[in-house]
Amino acid sequence: MNIASFEQLWPYVAGALQVLVSFRALAAIGLGAIVYWLIPHAYRPGALIPISIAIVLLGYQRPMMLVVAAAAICALIYLAVRRGAPRAWIVAGLVALYVALHGLFGLLTFTPWLAWSGLTPESVLPTIGLTTAFTFLRLVHFSVDYGAGPWPYEATPRAPIPPPPLAYAAWCLFFPTFVHLPLIRYQDWSAQFTKLPGRLAVAHLRKGIWRIGQALFKGACLALVFTAFNPNAILLRPVGRPFLELFVAAIVSAIAYYLGFSAFMDLGIGAASLYGITLPENFAPVLKMVRISRMRDFWRNWNITTTRWLHDYVYQPLGGHRRHPLRNVLLTMTACGLWHSVSVFGAAWGFGFGAILLAEHGWNRLRIRRGWPDAPPLLRSVLLLCAVAFVNLALTPYGYAAQSAKYLYPLYWLGLV
């Protein structure tokens, strides 16, 4: 690569890395880790909260209102659980609040109200939307696992008493989960928080540096993708473009989405390791993802912690495999779509994804019963790519102009989107 081509590529690389994490944030993570390990061991649990808040505000430059609002909501949920409020009512309140906030985000995106907060429409999703979405999942999990009152088909054992306030506050505000969003359940967090290591192990340090390096490498690959073929430019201007061009752009965009989102999670996992905390994996490695040829396996390896949450807190309460499993799959995936986008389009996407899963399951059962051979791996991979393109385009209410989907799906002609 000559100097001219490098100078042409570098703005894309810098832009991709800036979306993942700024150099200011990397410096804040490193400085915070040094301060954390210099504090005496007995005071580290309490120090983790102010260090995390400082990194979120000064390093990631998230708005103060986001931290204050999240802390206030978490505190209200904790008080409601301690006072014995019925968990069904708590979850209903969280759902109503999430729907209201989702509508507010949409209103902010299309009005000049963002001026007072210093945000731009493009920053609403990464700074507020994602944090709100995953905080909602964590608070529902906490309310169900520690709240009082009946809960249908309870999948996890009840905790005897609510946790200590300090551990709960650290779980809510720990910056890798607050910003980068790997969904760790409180039980797993508490097991580590109560036994914080006295010094940083070499394994944790090596893992932290390796995962942060992986994230930056994926960011550079993301820049290469957008340099060679910019799918956003096509998806944002779909009028008059042929179907094949839109479809290829959707597939390339799905690859870019995986690189970006998995790199974002790598940063969170790596940063937590520098503080002696192990977070769960949220995406399968690249080499495993490219070998997947079934939609069921794709979903199990894509956004893993969210999939488990949907299984435990939506699918199981609906009855799971015990009663009406087909209905439960459709309702669970519809809920997943609404979690991504509280809209008719989000619900239609989730329902469609559930229908794809059921169709694949039904075909496999019919094939085994009739003794038919399995489809060639190449054909299965092509079908999976089609489904991935469907998923990516269906996320347009968050990532791209929603009109992109109008030229690909019958929903547009039915007047539903």
Tell whether 62 and 128 lie within a shared domain: yes
pLDDT at 300: 86
For 318-362, the pLDDT digits (tens) are 998 888 999 999 999 999 988 887 877 778 778 888 888 898 889
* Residue whose tokens read 């986008």: 341
148 DSSP β-pair partners: 86
Tell whether 256 and 361 lie within a shared domain: yes
pLDDT at 160: 61
How many domains does the chain fold into?
2
pTM confidence score: 0.84
Tell whether 377 and 235 lie within a shared domain: yes
CA-wise closest residue to 139 among 315, 309, 341: 309
For 108-151, the pLDDT digits (tens) are 554 444 455 555 555 555 567 778 888 999 999 999 999 888 88
Which residues of the chain carry a pLDDT beneath 50? 1-13, 19, 110-114, 396-417
Tell whether 126 and 51 lie within a shared domain: yes
Burial of residue 313 (CB within 10 Å: 0-12, 13-18, 19+) is: buried
Tell whether 230 and 313 lie within a shared domain: yes
Please give the residue range of the domain that contains residue 275: 202-413
pLDDT at 124: 55
pLDDT at 321: 87
pLDDT at 403: 45
pLDDT at 143: 94
What number of other Cβ atoms are within 10 A of residue 141's Cβ? 21
Tell whether 234 and 107 lie within a shared domain: no
pLDDT at 334: 93
- CA angle (126 as vertex; 270, 297 as ends), nearest 5: 65
Tell whether 301 and 225 lie within a shared domain: yes
